Amino acid sequence: MNYHMIGKVLQSRYQIVQSLGAGVFGQTYIAVDIDYPDNSKCVVKQLKVNNCQPSYLDTLRLRFLTETETLKRLGLHQQIPEFIACFEENERFYLIQEFIEGHDLTAELPINQEWGCVWTENDVVEFLIDVLGILEFVHSQGVIHCDIKPENLIRRAVDGKLVLIDFGSIQSVDLGIDAELPIYSIPVTSLGYIPPEQFIGQTQPNSDIYALGMIAIQALTGIEPLQLQVDPYTNEIIWRSPNTPVNDYLAAVLSQMIRYDFQDRFQSVDEVLRVLKQMAAETQPTLALEPTAENDDSHQQPAPGKSSPLLTGMTVGLAANSLLMGLGVYSLLNTSPAYSETETLYKATEEYQTGDLQTAIALAKSIPSYSNIYPEAQATIEEWQQQWQEAAQQYLIAEQALNEGRWSDVLRATPNVPDILYWQSKTDKLAQQARVNIEAQTQDLLAKAYERAGQRDFSTALEYLRQIPQESSAGALVQRKLAEYNQKRQIRAAYFLHNASKKASVGDFNAAVKFLRQIPKNTSVYAQAQVKLNEYTQKQRLQTQSQKLALARVSATQKTNSNAFVSKKSATRIENSQSGNHWQEVNIR
């Protein structure tokens, strides 16, 4: 653990007080917010940085921005830690989240059956419905948690609610992960809960369902996931035995949640929730069907031709996940090909989510009016039409903003898209392109800002920096440069004011005025500079007038002297002329 961080203060606010350990994506700490009187606790996550190459850091900044935007949306749920802040410091990326006071689910799970504290079926169903409600919201935001395990489910002390934490491994629903997940990089506590497809880079939304099913099985059996046997022919997990008191309904649901092939599992959280609710309605009055050693036939089997629609068609995997009761295999499958109205509505929902609204409506309308889910189907059709129209409208807004180069507006429109995977996927692609354009725009504006700053034109540099969108991954860098260039501009303004005063003191008001006119607005000395500018401009005007008057006097003096010289020269010529004439007269005589 990185104990050297203990006591360190980040952003002059968050003081590290405890290390919580390291994961695949970085280090986690507990910190106190020293800006608050009660020094409230928060969780600090430091993103792992493998190298400091500029290109790598730029990529990391973009990913960090993308994921923190997602965490902001996720934190709106009451059972997900609230997003507080994110920032970059010394080329390290930090995320601040709400600290949840309580204990993780590990403290409530049985380690083995000898403890005698396995959960009841009712406890398991309540647990599933609670966590599935959280996952329903998570998946609706277009992401997969990817690390559902007991350590990441906290029983909140204040109200006893479960809180889902540690979204450091979240993946995009439509993009998945970039490469295979090496087993050596996975925390030991995650093994057993991670489904097969996640190891080969094919993470699915129902990968979270698999992990949740494994936790429920551990709660029912007291056996940890890695200790369960696997069928060598089908790769399905064998978890149910004669010592596992669980009714057929719940067994079918859990087995469907943990199928080896993700295509055979429940495809969405909504499907599992619907089945659990229907199961609760059909079981009377309690879920538990206790098996006895004396009579294995005590299991209540459906009467021929009257199997519940819940169990009909539910693929469980007979070899691995059947009722192994010694006398034979009791299959939960009904040979009847009947397809219940509930399953029709499920299928319609799948079509709706994948983008085929007309097929979805047609399927929902095919449910007969005498069905007990007919009212729900009709209400669902109306809701789908409203949401579809709203989603299409938000997509068009985002698309128009993208075409017009309003990248920030694209990102603002994305969260407003209703929970329809088809439209969310389309809008997310627009948002991804907008983020790429924002980063390109950011690099261009930064280059221009650096160029102007190199020429000491800090005012123009600041204008370029202010044009960088807030959604840019360079937000922390921009804030630092804004502060730096603003400080340099203030210093340069004070320098111009000082030079202006020096020039004015020796009577060089022209130079003083030139210095003052270079002082930009929004500087601390601007008002003082304006006063001096008026003063020096007036003195410059008087000085100019004095100089003109002096020049005029000199010119007049020079003109007077020139006239006097010309007059004297003319008089001499006349005198000489008269003398010549007198001499001529004498000679004549």
Q: Are 319 and 231 in contact (CB under 8 A)?
A: yes
Q: Is the pLDDT of residue 563 over 70?
A: no
Residue 485 within a domain? no
Rg of the chain's alpha carbons, rounded to an integer?
41
DSSP 520: P
Average pLDDT for 192-216: 90
Predicted confidence (pLDDT) per residue in 82-104, tens digit: 999 888 888 788 889 999 999 99
- For residue 228, give the nearest of 392, 81, 112 by alpha carbon: 112
Within 13 Å, how many C-alpha atoms sit on residue 577's CB side?
6
Query: Angle 374-403/341-354 helices, nearest 10 degrees?
Result: 0
Give me the pLDDT at residue 370, please. Answer: 79
What value does the mean pLDDT take over residues 106-119?
A: 72
Question: Is there a domain that residue 552 lies in?
Answer: no
Residue-by-residue DSSP string for 276-297: HHHHHHHS-S-S-----SS-GG
- Are residues 259 and 282 located together in one domain of the fold? yes
Per-residue pLDDT band for 578 (boundaries 50, 70, 90) equals low
Q: What tokens were used for 514?
A: 């030139």
- CATH number for the domain spanning 281: value is 1.10.510.10
How many independent structural domains does the chain possess? 2
Please state the pTM of the whole predicted model: 0.50
Query: Residue 216 pLDDT > 90, yes or no?
Result: yes
d(CA 434, CA 428): 10
Under the banding of pLDDT at 50, 70 and 90, the label for residue 577 is: low
pLDDT tens for each residue of 506-535: 889 889 889 899 898 888 888 998 998 898
Instruction: Identify whether residues 108 and 8 lie together within a single domain.
Output: no
In a shared domain, residues 44 and 124:
no
Higher-pLDDT residue of 513 and 570 is: 513
CATH of the domain at 80: 3.30.200.20
* Percent of the chain whose pLDDT exceeds 70: 77
Residues paired with residue 238 on neighbouring β-strands, in sequence order: 229
Residue 1 scores a pLDDT above 90 = no
Task: Indicate if 152 and 270 belong to the same structural domain.
Answer: yes
- The per-residue pLDDT for 331 is 28
Condensed to tens digits (0 to 9), the pLDDT of residues 246-257 reads: 888 899 899 999
Kindly report, residue by residue over 35-80, the tens digit of the pLDDT: 886 778 999 988 877 666 777 677 777 777 767 788 888 999 999 9
Across the range 200-213, mean pLDDT stands at 90
**Residues 125, 31 within the same domain:** no
The H or E element spanning position 121 is: helix 121-140
pLDDT of 445-470, one tens digit each?
Answer: 999 999 988 888 888 988 999 998 88
Residues 230 and 325 in one domain: yes
Q: Which pLDDT does position 163 carry in this prediction?
A: 95
Do residue 78 and residue 151 come from a single domain? no
Q: Where are the alpha helices (DSSP H) in 225-340?
A: 248-257, 269-282, 318-321
Q: What is the span of the domain harbouring residue 26? A: 3-98
CA angle 176, 182, 185 (to 5 degrees): 105
Whether 78 and 123 share a structural domain: no
Q: What would the two tokens of residue 332 be?
A: 């939960």
Computed over every residue of the chain, the mean pLDDT equals 79
Helices (H), 455-588: 458-466, 475-505, 509-517, 526-588
428 assigned to active site: no
Of the candidates 458, 462, 531, the one whose C-alpha atom is nearest the C-alpha of residue 500 is: 531
- The confidence band for 183, taking pLDDT boundaries of 50, 70 and 90, is very low
Same-domain status, 214 and 333: yes
Q: Residue 147 above 70 pLDDT?
A: yes
Categorize the per-residue pLDDT at 6 as very low, low, confident or very high, splitting at 50, 70 and 90. Answer: confident
Asked whether residue 182 falls in the same domain as residue 164, the answer is: yes
417 is a domain residue: no
Domain assignment present for residue 35? The answer is yes
Measuring CA to CA, how many Å separate 77 from each of 44, 164, 458, 459? 19, 10, 44, 43
| Mean pLDDT within 166-170 | 68
> Is it the case that residue 18 has pLDDT exceeding 60?
yes
Least confident of 1-5, 179-183, 270-274: 179-183
Task: Give mean pLDDT, residues 340-345.
Answer: 78
HEC string for 2-66: CHHHCCCEECCCEEEEEEEEECCCEEEEEEEECCCCCCCEEEEEEECCCCCCHHHHHHHHHHHHH
42 is a domain residue? yes
Are 154 and 89 found together in one domain? no
pLDDT at 298 over 80: no
Work out the angle between the directed axes of helices 421-454 and 475-505 (0-180°, nearest 10): 30
| In-domain check, residue 368 | no
Averaged pLDDT, 267-292: 71
Token pair listed for 120: 């009841």
Q: How far is CA 62 from the centre of its chain?
A: 10
Q: Which two tokens stand for residue 527?
A: 């008002």
Q: Does residue 24 belong to any structural domain of this protein?
A: yes
Of residues 229 and 319, more confidence is placed in 229
Spatial separation of the C-alpha atoms in residues 335 and 455, rounded to whole Å = 82
Handedness of CA 269, 274, 277, 278 (dihedral sign): negative
Tokens 């729900």 -> residue: 376
Give the per-residue pLDDT at 23.
62
pLDDT of 561 above 50: yes
The maximal CA–CA distance of the chain, rounded, in angstroms, is: 187
Model confidence at 580: pLDDT above 90: no
User: Is residue 67 within 8 Å of residue 50, measured between CB atoms?
Assistant: no
Distance (Å, whole) CA 556 – CA 546: 15
Cα–Cα dist 505/60, whole Å: 56
448 is in an annotated binding site: no
Active-site option among 33, 147, 208, 248 = 147
The percentage of residues in the chain with a pLDDT greater than 90, rounded to a whole number, is: 24
- Among the residue ranges 209-213, 283-287, 325-329, 393-397, the one predicted with the least confidence is 325-329
Amino acid of residue 574: I
Nearest to residue 252, comparing CAs of 225, 283, 227? 283
- Quick one: which of 489, 485, 496, 482 has its CA closest to 528? 496
Distance CA 429, CA 424 (A): 9
pLDDT at 373: 79
Burial 219-256 (b: 16+ CB within 10 A, else e): bbbbbbbeebeeeeebebbbbbeeebebbbbbbbbbbb
151: DSSP letter = G
Among the ranges given (251-260, 331-340, 577-586), the one the predictor scored with the smallest mean pLDDT: 331-340
With respect to residue 147, please indicate whether it lies within any of the assigned structural domains: yes
Same domain, 180 and 238: yes
- Lowest-pLDDT range, 144-153, 485-494, 561-570, 580-589? 580-589
| Residues 6 or more apart whose Cβ sits within 8 Å of residue 207 | 144, 146, 194, 195, 197, 198, 262
Amino acid type, 235? N
